[in-house]
């Protein structure tokens, strides 16, 4: 009740945590690309995730290996 009285959003801490988690996934994705780290790239996707990047459409874990291999070539 006190938070509502001053106009504070009681859900804001949860939103900040969610934003930090999203930021972590995005920066991990970028780091994986920069470092050509297949395992790190796989870690940003669910095991059964699907990815469609035009040149690749399929299991996200397989995409991780595909994109890192492509960068290395």
CA dist., res. 31 & res. 64, Å (int): 13
> What pLDDT band is residue 8 in, cutting at 50, 70 and 90?
low
Here the tokens at position 9 are: 């959003």
User: pLDDT per residue over 16-40, tens digit each?
Assistant: 889 999 999 999 999 999 999 999 9
Here the tokens at position 64 are: 């991780």
Residue 71: predicted pLDDT? 93
Q: Which region among 1-5, 11-15, 41-45, 57-61 has the lowest average model confidence (pLDDT)? A: 1-5
What phi, psi does 50 have (nearest 5°)?
A: -120, 140
């Amino acid at each position: 009740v006190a938070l509502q009285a001053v106009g504070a959003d009681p859900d804001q801490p949860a939103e900040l945590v969610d934003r930090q988690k999203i930021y972590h996934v995005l920066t991990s994705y970028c780091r994986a690309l920069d470092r050509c780290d297949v395992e790190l790239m796989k870690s940003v996707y669910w095991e059964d995730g699907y990815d469609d990047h035009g040149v690749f459409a399929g299991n996200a874990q397989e995409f991780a290996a595909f994109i890192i291999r492509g960068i290395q070539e």
